[in-house]
Homo-oligomer: A and B are copies of this chain.
Amino acid sequence: MENKKEAISFEVTHVCKQTGARTGILHTPHGDVKTPMFMPVGTLATVKFLSPEEIKEIGSGVILANTYHCWLRPGEDVVQAAGGLQKFMRYDGPMLTDSGGFQVFSLADSRKIKEEGVYFKSHIDGSPLFLSPEKSIEIQNALGADIIMSFDECPPYPATYEYMKNSVERTLRWAKRGKDAHKNPETQALFGIVQGGEYEDLRKYSAEELVKIGFPGYSIGGTSVGESKETMYKMIDYAVKYLPKESVKYLMGVGSTDAILEGVLRGIDMFDCVLPTRIARHGALMTSEGRVNIKKVQYKKDFTPIDKECDCYACKNYTKAYIHHLYRCNEGLGMRLMSIHNLRYLIRLTEQIREAIEQDRFGDFKDEFFKKMNLNSVDSRGF
């Protein structure tokens, strides 16, 4: 049996002598992306309010779209008829879809987990729905992203050891079924997802079994679901430890500044999070001097940029006073400018991280950042 050519490949380009953190290049059918990377979320095949040109301008590489949402609207058949997600939304860079698993467990009602898959109800109209490993892969094949995810259970936190063990075992069976159902391994790379909660032996078991099945990349799931930062970092350690060093590693749904730095230190290459765009739409801006809450009256006549260290379109061209006004009036241009800024802030952070790694001073960089931003590595909130 001959291995088909995989859709993606990953090469480590530098390992920081100070910390062991690494930079790399992820080769995808839609171009190369440097790691560590932060991926903006475009839930419904649109990064809310932004044009593809703006997404590119802030330095984005991979954009994430949510399978569950795109399945319900517009429907994967529409996206497929358009020629895939990239053509549909007119983004020419790489894309990634999640499996729908997380949304089924966080958004949908009345879910029933069975061996064959999950029965649940639409968060839009309550209609009955069913997702299985095969169905999730079928949808993701139609959506056509460069990187796709195995359908997994995202278990609650905390969960008993017994619950977690059963969940991990089922998720492994689902991973195998998903791989078997995957139609386009040469154009879409299917990642395995390590689960196991806070239990090291279950994370180990999950990681090792996934590696036996064999995937071109691995995600770490079940984090950022209510556990402390300290516990999350342990979960990352337990997973990374048992995955092949050379494989690309993706920490799902994590995007606070402190967690990105801690993740990179632990060997993570890819991050995504709705946080920067979601808090932007609520007027919370990430800056080099900490969080700016733009709705505060103190910004009414503040004619300085959001962040004078930032090089984004919003900071180069607009004042806090104007953005304060747009925010208060719920104007779409305000949403645009604030989203652009927060995404650029995080993407710029990853650029600085890569530079620090290449200069073998990532440890110093991380310490300085934590000190400057008043973070600590155990239970900080970052942004």
Contacts and interface: CB of A to CB of B under 8 A. Distances in A.
Interface of A: 44-46, 48-51, 73-75, 77-78, 81-82, 88-90, 300-301, 303, 317-319, 321-322, 324-326, 328-329, 331-336
A82 B321 CA distance: 8
Contacts of A82: 303, 319, 321-322
A81 B332 contact: no
A333 to B, nearest CB: 5
Contacts of A319: 82, 88
Contacts of A88: 319, 321-322, 325
Given A74-B325, A82-B321, A90-B318, A336 B303 contact: no
B325 A45 contact: yes
A333 B73 contact: no
Contacts of A329: 44, 46, 73
Contacts of A77: 301
Given A73-B328, A321-B74, A333 B303 contact: no
A333 B339 CA distance: 12
B332 A332 contact: yes
Nearest to A313: B51
A82 B299 CA distance: 12
8 contacts: A44-B325, A44-B326, A48-B331, A49-B49, A75-B300, A82-B303, A90-B318, A332-B336
A51 B332 contact: no
Specify which of A48, A49, A50, A325 lies most central, judged by the most chain B CB atoms within 10 Å of its CB.
A325
Given A46-B326, A326-B46, A328-B73, A78 B333 contact: no
Contacts of A300: 74-75, 78
A44 B331 contact: yes
Leading 10 A-B pairs by shortest Cβ distance: A49-B332, A74-B325, A46-B333, A44-B329, A332-B332, A46-B331, A81-B301, A73-B329, A78-B301, A48-B332
Given A81-B301, A325-B73, A90 B317 contact: yes
A303 B81 contact: yes
A280 to B, nearest CB: 12
Given A78-B321, A90-B317, A49 B303 contact: no
A83 to B, nearest CB: 9
Nearest to A337: B51
Given A73-B325, A321-B88, A336 B78 contact: no
Contacts of A45: 322, 325
Nearest to A335: B332
A191 B6 CA distance: 69
Nearest to A319: B82
A75 B321 CA distance: 11
Given A74-B325, A78-B300, A90-B322, 15 more contacts: A49-B331, A49-B332, A49-B333, A50-B333, A73-B328, A75-B300, A81-B303, A81-B321, A82-B322, A88-B319, A88-B321, A88-B325, A90-B318, A332-B332, A332-B336
Contacts of A326: 44, 46
Given A90-B317, A318-B90, A78 B332 contact: no
A333 B48 contact: yes
Given A82-B322, A321-B82, A336 B51 contact: yes
A325 B76 CA distance: 12
A132 B75 CA distance: 55
A90 B329 CA distance: 17
